[in-house]
Amino acid sequence: MTALHWLDRPGEEGVTWGVPWPRGAVGRDAPFALADAEGREVPVQSWVTATWPDGSVKWSAHAIGAGPAAPAYRVEPGREPAAPGTPVTVARENGLLTVATGAVTWTIEESGGTLARSISRGSREIARDVRLVSLRQHEPTPDDGGPVARTETTGRVTAVTVEQDGPLRAVVRLEGRHGDWLPFTVRLYFHAGAENVRVMHTFVWDGDPERDFLAGLGLRADVVMRDELHDRHVRIAGAGGFLTEAVRGLTGLRRDPGESVRRAQVEGRPAGEIAPDVASRLHLIPAWNDYTLDQGSADGFTLRKRTAPGHAWVTIPAGTRSAGYAYVGGVSGGLGFGLRDFWRLHPTRLDVRNAATDLATATVWLWSPSAPAMDLRFYHDGMGQDTFAEQLEGLEITYEDYEPGFGDAHGVARTHELTLRACEATPSSPALAAHAAAMDRPGLLAVGPSRMREAGVFGVWDLPDRSTPARAEIEDRLDFLFDLYAREREQRRWYGFWDYGDVMHTYDPDRHTWRYDVGGYAWDNSELSPDLWLWLQYLRTGRSDVFRFAESMTRHTGEVDVYHAGRWKGLGSRHNVQHWGCSCKQLRISNAAYRRFYYYLTADERTGDLLDELSRPEETFVVIDPTRKVREDVYTPDPSALSIGLGTDWGSLAAAWLTRWERHGDERARDRLLGTMADIGALPHGFLTGEARLDLATGRFDTARDKISVSHLSSLFGLPEMCAELIALDLDVPGFERAWLQYCRLYLATPEQQEAEVGERLSGISLIQAHSRLTAYAAARTGDAALAAWAWRKFALDEGDQLNRNPLQRQREWSLTEVDGPHVLSPVREAPFVGTNGASQYGLAAIHNLALIGEHLDGHLDGHPGGHPGGHLDGH
């Protein structure tokens, strides 16, 4: 039995979540039951998302319907679930899908120009023709704001798939294109008893950046308007509440319609009997037909309305950050609609049109037509960097790995989460606020950190422990770093359509800002694994703010930083001023290790798509050689002898293969994972070899390579995490653990000890603090206390790492500096000694070391624990 709690707020709209299980605890075909804390049975729908190698359940997913939420629940395997009173049903007939939740019914065409033909409650149609719309230009918006021709297109659905059909959750996937470009996938999520439907929209950019400029992208629906104009209502969310309007307003008039009438209209109820001297003049009160809220930035929105096209807009008091939710309809029903992270994903817009007619139109704009058209051209002209030699020179000055034609966005994607709610009447203001909150921070059930740890998932981590001053100091630093990035997102405004979810790479203390405009120092794009750091910090703390930050990063880095179509499909782009700007296209960025957390914790199908895109990750190495610019040998990608780095490359392959195996039981992925593990163990120098040649047909390495080559980056993109997880699976792969422990022991060993064991001193050793977790792993696996002391020394002392400038006992110098005055754009609180490379790797090293060798911490952080433990290098 497993206890569940709400992550940050109860979910009453229908909820889906994941639960981990210890190996061997739950059989593959076991049912699951759910009860609240009082023992009352709660209907639940369950399915398996991953299994252990022995076939037992590793991760299960569960869904409940809409309704009042209990404070806590418990899920129990091996017992049949309670049946729902009113299940979700899916019926398919004559080219139509009919999905009914018990509260609403959606009618979906299997192809055509709509995502849904009709939405109804009982026999009353609320909305119809839910569709995707886009606006396209063939030139950028002029700087002077001059006119540009735009073409409007309605998205066409070409395929409809029912992925789940109840009883408590149904998922319908629709695929198509926005006209002749921008392929999309839309998922509609239905929960039993829910009046709202979650809409997940993903599109892939496939335009020509020189001639295709997206000027608007939106979700639109027509809303049936039955009521008198004064009983029709428009509600639009501001920063804290709602604009409360009627199409024909009865408040503020020269003649009083009656207090009860005014109160009823404001509260969204039928106005009732209107005073005669007002009722006789209703035709003289303007009817407000159209409304627009425009969120042009993270700091401000504007509001306006008009009586009809061809007449002037009237401005409404503006505000800062709209919650991105609105309602149009009347006392006999209407549509709530909105976009999650509305202001964070600016420029966005909410439109109501034709509210004074029989059919109003509601539009959520993912890219506002009011903004300049989306411009994805590269940000500079190349500056003459036409050869590898010139490009490497550029790398030396701006850290930008430029190459002509490689700064191309063709194939990147973006996912948005929207909601459509068929309401039986105009909701009250508190109800609207609850609807907006449920959209923006959907409820999620979670297991606690202790229970997560007991399941043995996600490798090396443990719960926070402040039982000693030394432990507490490290925990304080971990909190400091997360809180810093949460603060930096806000004060630096790391928001926007393509940017939200990412963080910057390196700070510029001279300008008191991040190096947003300096080549490879700008957007981070998962460099040195901030994704892993954040997810492990969530697992160990259970903090909802850490979860939400990691969630947005997974959404961004899995979509925007990765190619989902075109010549680089399956690869990601290294850090750059533009997320797709770098010529380094690698699997280390599209890394499945970064997506697995969110998928298993939420059972999110879109993240599952990203993992499925990596079903054959090794084939990406035929397309491009990641190290083509710095090779000393002559090499062209050869399917029978592909060059695979045993660090960033193989770690990413292993993550993809393992995930494919545990999710789908894929034997091909299993065989390639186990085979290459065995081959690494068979190499004369194991991981120290640095690189091996893969035969694409067999999925095996050539084990004859007898060479030592070490890179400081090999272990910084998930390799330690994946190796620890694989070793813990006890897969019976001869030599693999020995090869990994050798690498872990020798990387930070003294040159003399390296030479004594392998005949030469290792070169390329840096990022000492980050690699201390390798030493810690070897110490923990071998029980070597002296090696553990050496790991803590390397973690704590100033040996070149930015976050090690001060010994740990002086860590109080980790503090923020206030910068104000005319020399900064806005007042800031900065920590100029922190960069994302250092923060991510400090976080991962601290988490690993505390979990692995925490008992050896005290007494070894005064900066003088002694020399390296000679005589212990053999690990015995």
Three-state secondary-structure class, residue 679: helix
What pLDDT was estimated at residue 744? 98
DSSP H or E stretch at residue 719: helix 719-728
Q: Is the dihedral of CA 451, 452, 455, 461 positive or negative?
A: negative
Q: In the structure encoding, which two tokens stand for residue 574, read together?
A: 């290294």
Cα–Cα distance between 732 and 734 in angstroms, integer? Answer: 6
What pLDDT was estimated at residue 868? 53
Cα–Cα distance between 222 and 200 in angstroms, integer? Answer: 19
Confidence band for 768, pLDDT divided at 50, 70 and 90: very high
Evaluate whether 219 touches 342 at the Cβ level (below 8 Å): no
Q: How many CB atoms lie within 10 A of CB 856?
A: 22
821: number of CA atoms within 13 Å, CB side? 5
Evaluate whether 135 touches 124 at the Cβ level (below 8 Å): no
What pLDDT was estimated at residue 242? 97
φ, ψ of residue 486 to 5 degrees: the values are -65, -40
Q: In the structure encoding, which two tokens stand for residue 453, read together?
A: 């740890």
What pLDDT was estimated at residue 812? 52
Across the chain, what does the average pLDDT equal?
95
Evaluate whether 776 touches 862 at the Cβ level (below 8 Å): no
Helix residue ranges, H only, 374-468? 388-398, 429-440, 449-455
Evaluate if residue 819 carries a pLDDT over 70: yes
Evaluate if residue 809 carries a pLDDT over 80: no
Evaluate if residue 872 carries a pLDDT over 50: no
What pLDDT was estimated at residue 390? 95
82-108 residue pLDDT tens:
999 999 999 999 999 999 999 999 999
415-454 residue pLDDT tens:
999 999 999 999 999 999 999 999 999 999 999 999 999 9
What pLDDT was estimated at residue 567? 95
584-610 residue pLDDT tens:
999 999 999 999 999 999 999 999 999
Three-state secondary-structure class, residue 714: coil
Q: In the structure encoding, which two tokens stand for residue 302, read together?
A: 């504007």
Higher pLDDT, 649 or 145: 649
What pLDDT was estimated at residue 808? 44
> How large a percentage of the chain has pLDDT more than 90?
93
Cα angle 22, 28, 33; round to 5: 80
What pLDDT was estimated at residue 798? 67
Mean pLDDT along residues 279-306: 98
Confidence band for 865, pLDDT divided at 50, 70 and 90: very low
Three-state secondary-structure class, residue 415: strand
Mean pLDDT along residues 710-729: 97
451-480 residue pLDDT tens:
999 999 999 999 999 999 999 999 999 999
Beta partners for 292? 304, 351
What pLDDT was estimated at residue 627? 83
Mean pLDDT along residues 388-407: 96
Evaluate whether 324 touches 266 at the Cβ level (below 8 Å): no
Evaluate if residue 876 carries a pLDDT over 90: no
* Torsion region of 448: left, alpha or beta (phi above 0 gives left; psi -120 to 50 gives alpha): beta
Mean pLDDT along residues 345-361: 98
What pLDDT was estimated at residue 626? 83
Cα angle 800, 806, 810; round to 5: 165
Mean pLDDT along residues 732-751: 97
φ, ψ of residue 465 to 5 degrees: the values are -140, 115
37-96 residue pLDDT tens:
999 999 999 999 999 999 999 999 999 999 999 999 999 999 999 999 999 999 999 999
Cα–Cα distance between 40 and 23 in angstroms, integer? Answer: 28
φ, ψ of residue 592 to 5 degrees: the values are -65, -25
Confidence band for 757, pLDDT divided at 50, 70 and 90: very high
